[in-house]
């Protein structure tokens, strides 16, 4: 494991790919991997690209990657796709939509499946981003799956969030206020050559004008045509400006503190959930509660209370805490 990490830190792409696979599969070596790379993280700048399906996010990521490479930046791309119901992997694989960058050693592209996540990113995405960061990437672009208003995970992962809308979204902007509207640091109205694009831009600017102002950053609205490479330079410049504003205001450090806190809470939740389910599924008495819920004999809330207070689970928790205290001492 140490050798694999060392090769990755030295720039070996195959080792990076293997480590990402281990993280995605949540292998038992993951804690050791993350501990070993932690001192090398925190250097890359992470930009989240989100928005409803069909907005041209993949093309936008490809265009932004091209600009970053012209600036001699090392780029990592995390592209999240829907989960295949058959293999459990990403439906679109390593996406032909970014094929122009596949032979570029300065770009590392990884597709990930949502694997049941409803927040736009799989729970292992944060660890994959850290691996890309530790491997020496300067810019990491994270494209979410595109599930609409629930894509809030990107807020706890990216330094800058770009929300992409299209002209067809004009009638739905009001309903999106409580979702995507509030997570945007930058808006991009893509496919701006289509009818109605001007109205979407005007609606967004009016809504932003009415919203509480931030003294350090005014959310911009950029009209783009990713397929025709129009407006992408303007968008990239706004990303750079937001990065500068974050640093100058001290909010970059604040955001990353929140990201580290969110990582900790996610890891605690994931560990407790996984181990608790293993106990429940491996115990015959606790398994009966599942059957009773399936048969409609008991409601899920009552069953949860009984499972959590069951002697088997309580005993396991006590033993687990005792082991944890022993390890800490």
pLDDT in tens, 239-251: 999 999 999 999 9
149 and 298 belong to one structural domain: no
The chain-wide mean pLDDT, for the chain, equals 85
Asked if residue 167 is part of any domain, the answer here is yes
Domain boundary among 227, 249, 271: 249
Q: Tell me which range, 3-12, 103-112, 230-239, is most confidently predicted by mean pLDDT.
A: 230-239
Asked if residue 25 is part of any domain, the answer here is no
Bigger pLDDT: 114 or 205?
205
In this prediction, residue 33 carries a pLDDT of 94
The angle formed by the CA atoms of residues 17, 21 and 27, to the nearest 5 degrees, is 140
206 and 268 belong to one structural domain: no
Task: Band the pLDDT of 221: cuts 50, 70, 90.
Answer: very high
CATH of the domain at 207: 3.40.50.300
**SS3 readout for the chain:** CHHHHHHHHCCCHHHHHHHHHHHHCCCCCHHHHHHHHHHHCCCCEEEEEECCCCCCHHHHHHHHHHHHHHCCCCEEEEEEECECCCCCCECCCCCHHHHHHCCCCCEEEEEEECCCCCCCCCCCHHHHHHHHHHCCCCEEEEECCCCCCCCCHHHHCCCEEEEEECHHHHHHCHHHCCCHHHHCCEEEECCCCCCCHHHHHHHHHHHHHHCCCCCCCCCCEEECEHHHCECHHHHHHHHHHHHHHHHHHCHHHHHHHHHHHHHHHHHHHHHHHHHHHHHHHHCHHHHHHHHHHHCCCCCHHHHHHHHHCCHHHHHHHHHHHHHHHHHHC
- Structure confidence by residue, pLDDT tens digits, 115-169: 544 444 777 889 999 999 999 999 999 998 765 544 567 888 899 999 999 987 6
Domain boundary among 249, 283, 306: 249
Task: Band the pLDDT of 175: cuts 50, 70, 90.
Answer: very low
Encoding tokens for residue 28?
Answer: 């038992």
Task: Band the pLDDT of 310: cuts 50, 70, 90.
Answer: confident
In this prediction, residue 93 carries a pLDDT of 44
129 and 229 belong to one structural domain: yes
136 and 208 belong to one structural domain: yes
157 and 221 belong to one structural domain: yes
Asked if residue 19 is part of any domain, the answer here is no
Determine the structural domain holding residue 162 and report its residue range: 42-249
195 burial via Cβ count (<10 Å: 0-12, 13-18, 19+): exposed
Q: How far apart are CA 42 and CA 134, in angstroms?
A: 8
Asked if residue 5 is part of any domain, the answer here is no
Task: Show Cβ contacts of residue 126 under 8 Å, excluding neighbours closer than 6 positions.
Answer: 156, 157, 259, 262, 263, 266
197 and 56 belong to one structural domain: yes
In this prediction, residue 300 carries a pLDDT of 92
What are the strands of the beta sheet with 139-143, ordered from one edge? 107-113, 75-81, 139-143, 45-50, 160-165, 186-189, 221-223
- Residue 97 scores a pLDDT above 80: no
């Amino acid at each position: 494991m140490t050798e694999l990490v060392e090769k990755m830190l030295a720039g070996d792409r195959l080792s990076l790919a293997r480590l990402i696979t281990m993280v995605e599969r949540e292998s038992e070596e993951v804690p050791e991997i993350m501990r070993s790379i932690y001192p090398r993280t925190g250097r890359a700048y992470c930009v989240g690209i989100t928005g409803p399906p069909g907005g041209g996010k993949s093309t936008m990521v490809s265009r932004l990657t091209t600009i970053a490479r012209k600036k001699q930046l090392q780029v990592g791309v995390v592209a999240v796709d829907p989960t295949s119901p058959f293999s459990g992997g990403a439906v679109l694989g390593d996406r032909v939509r970014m094929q122009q960058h596949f032979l570029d050693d300065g770009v590392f592209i990884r597709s990930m499946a949502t694997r049941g996540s409803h927040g736009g990113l799989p729970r292992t995405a944060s660890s994959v981003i850290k691996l890309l960061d530790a491997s020496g990437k300067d810019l990491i672009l994270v494209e979410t799956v595109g599930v609409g208003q629930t894509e809030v995970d990107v807020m706890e992962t990216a330094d800058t969030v770009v929300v992409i809308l299209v002209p067809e979204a004009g009638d739905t902007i009001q309903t999106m206020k409580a979702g995507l509207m509030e997570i945007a640091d930058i808006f991009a109205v893509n496919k701006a050559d289509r009818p109605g694009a001007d109205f979407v831009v005007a609606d967004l600017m009016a809504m932003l004008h009415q919203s509480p102002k931030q003294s350090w950053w005014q959310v911009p609205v950029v009209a783009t045509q990713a397929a025709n490479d129009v407006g992408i330079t303007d968008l990239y410049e706004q990303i750079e400006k937001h990065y500068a504003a974050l640093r100058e205001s001290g909010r970059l450090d604040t955001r990353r503190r929140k990201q580290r806190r969110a990582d900790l809470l996610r890891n605690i939740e994931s560990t407790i959930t996984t181990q608790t389910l293993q106990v429940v599924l491996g115990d015959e008495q606790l398994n009966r509660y599942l059957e009773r819920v399936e048969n409609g004999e008991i409601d899920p809330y009552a069953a949860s209370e009984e499972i959590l207070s069951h002697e088997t689970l309580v005993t396991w928790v006590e033993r687990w805490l005792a082991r944890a205290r022993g390890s800490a001492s």
